[in-house]
Structure 1
Amino acid sequence: MNSRSSIPYVRWPESILNTEALLDSIDNIKGVDKPKTDSDKMNSFRHKFEATHRAADGHFVRSKAEMLIDNWLYMAEIVHAYERKLPIEEEMYCDFYIPTGKVYIEFWGYDNDEKYLARKQQKQAIYQKYNFNLIELTDAEVLNLDDILPRMLLKFGVQAY
């Protein structure tokens, strides 16, 4: 508590103030783009597939399946973000994030690619490590979103209208 103003405050330890996740969040809020190296861009799945499909809400997504998911969320009036960085030290982005219920949605589309499957397992392990609310969708489920997604969302307290 400040002795002059009697306003309580917190003094954060240096170990917290210098974490990469916190500094990245501050940069995001300020609108500062963190420069990427050429090797980061070349190796990143996010840069390999350009977001060229435009969803109904204006989001540019990387596949037709992601466009169907985004459009479904938009039409169900569910506030969502596309490709949001997870609030963790590791550099990882989710496909979709729903603030209500703190739900992450991942669409798994490339089952026949070894690198993709390895990345999928790595991401699943991270979601489990941090105990995040995760919905995983496959191609077959994307074709039946009206039946599948409302039930999955309801498990995390998110109602579709």
Structure 2
Amino acid sequence: MTEEKRVSTTQLAKLRGIPQDQLFTQLSSQGLIEKKDDKWTLTDAGVKAGGVYQTGKYGQYVAWPESFDVHVQPAKADAPKMLTATALGQHFEVSATKINYILSELGWIQKGLKGWLVTDQGKKMGAEQGEDSRSGIPYARWPEKILKIRALKDSVDNMKGVDKPKTDSDKMDSFRHKFEATHRATDGHFVRSKAEMLIDNWLYMAEIVHAYERKLPIEEEMYCDFYIPTGKVYIEYWGYDNDEKYLARKQEKQAIYQKYNFNLIELTDQDVLNLDDILPRLLLKFGVQAY
């Protein structure tokens, strides 16, 4: 009797008209294959189901009988369409590479050893972790609703240099308009107090890339004092302890940082006097090394 032809998982997906990522995910959920050291391997159940190892141009791979009965669960009718960085880039008219860096800057994905990994914040946005079936390189998939999220649209516009008119919520931020940014830091940033100037100068001299008054990637209208893309760290300097309105604003901001579980460093006047000892230790907790 002639032995039945065997095909790779990718070939099997093509024969059945199934997206290969979906087939790999389904076989994994059925306990037939599992990931070890970035490679798909057969489980005992997979071997019993007819899976074998074969060797090809790219090394060893899992193969199945050509007649293998694939039990793929049909997608739900109301399941959201998921978009890759390439699709997002086409929508916003930028490259997939730039989209991934924007999503990383927002804290929704992070760089893995290879590819991109979805963060907890990204999962809250509806992202799913995907993986290339051949290379095993991870990537993120996003629901269409992400196209309407203001934080993403604003970040893309900023990257493209699009000037945007001030919104009513911008005008309502009385603190930021009450205290003008008149203190010029070493790197050219104009900040609102001498303490913020000292913090900015310290970050600059430590060669730590940072932004001043970066809008948080949330629907609420809130700006941090400083943002460090490496480590996704936000820094807040708290002054004006005797001002009731300021204290109320401080509590509101702290609650939002806690709500989204953002990496936050809080500095006081006393901390600013001792930044060389305080900041390196606090930054290191989030994987940011100074000096």
Given the two structures, how large is their TM-score scaled by the length of structure 1?
A: 0.86
- In terms of Rg, which structure is larger? 2
Q: Distance in 2 between matches of 1:100 and 1:159?
A: 10
Aligned to 1:31: 161
Task: Note closer, same or farther for the CA distance 1:39–1:155 as it changes in structure 2 (3 Å cut).
Answer: closer
- Does structure 1 conserve the Cα–Cα contact (< 8 Å) formed by 2:209 and 2:228? yes
The answer to whether the Cα contact below 8 Å between 2:203 and 2:210 also exists between their aligned partners in 1 is yes
Greater shift, 43-52 or 122-131, is seen at: 43-52
RMSD: 2.2
SS in structure 2 opposite 1:106?
strand
Q: Do residues 125 (structure 1) and 249 (structure 2) align?
A: no
In structure 2, the residue matched to 1:5 is none
**Residue 147 in structure 1 maps to residue 288 in structure 2:** no
Instruction: Report the counterpart of residue 77 of structure 1 in structure 2.
Output: 207
Secondary structure in 2 matching 1:100:
coil
1:20 corresponds to which residue?
Answer: 150
- Deviation string for 1:24-61 (max 9, x for gaps)? 22322232233225785364321211111011111111
Post-superposition shift, 1:23?
Answer: 2.4
Whole-angstrom distance in 2 between the partners of 1:84 and 1:144: 24
| Number of corresponding residues | 155
Q: Are 1:97 and 2:227 matched, yes or no?
A: yes
AA aligned to 2:146 is I
Q: Give how far 1:20 is off.
A: 2.2
Cα deviation per residue 1:105-156 (whole Å; 9 max; x = unaligned)?
A: 0000111111111111111111111111100000111011111111111111
CA shift for structure 1 position 13? 4.7
Return the structure number with greater strand share: 2
Structure 2 unpaired stretches of 5+: 1-20, 22-82, 88-141
Native 8 Å contact 1:42 1:48 kept in 2 = no
Contact kept? 2:169, 2:221, Cα under 8 Å: no
Judged with a 3 Å threshold, the aligned counterparts in structure 2 of structure 1 residues 43 and 153 are, in CA distance, closer, same or farther, namely closer
Q: What percent of counterpart residues are identical? A: 88
Q: Which residue of 2 is the match for residue 55 of structure 1?
A: 185
Could you tell me the TM-score, scaled by structure 2's length? 0.49
Change in Cα spacing, 1:18 to 1:79, as seen in structure 2 (3 Å) is: same
Task: Show structure 1 runs of 4+ deviating over 6 A.
Answer: none
Tell me what 1:4 maps to: none
Deviations 1:70-120 (A, max 9, x none): 011111111111111111111111111111111110000111111111111
Secondary structure of 1:90 counterpart: coil
Alpha-carbon deviation of 1:159? 1.1
* Higher RCO (CA-CA < 8 Å; seq separation 6+): 1
**2: CA distance between counterparts of 1:43 and 1:137?**
21
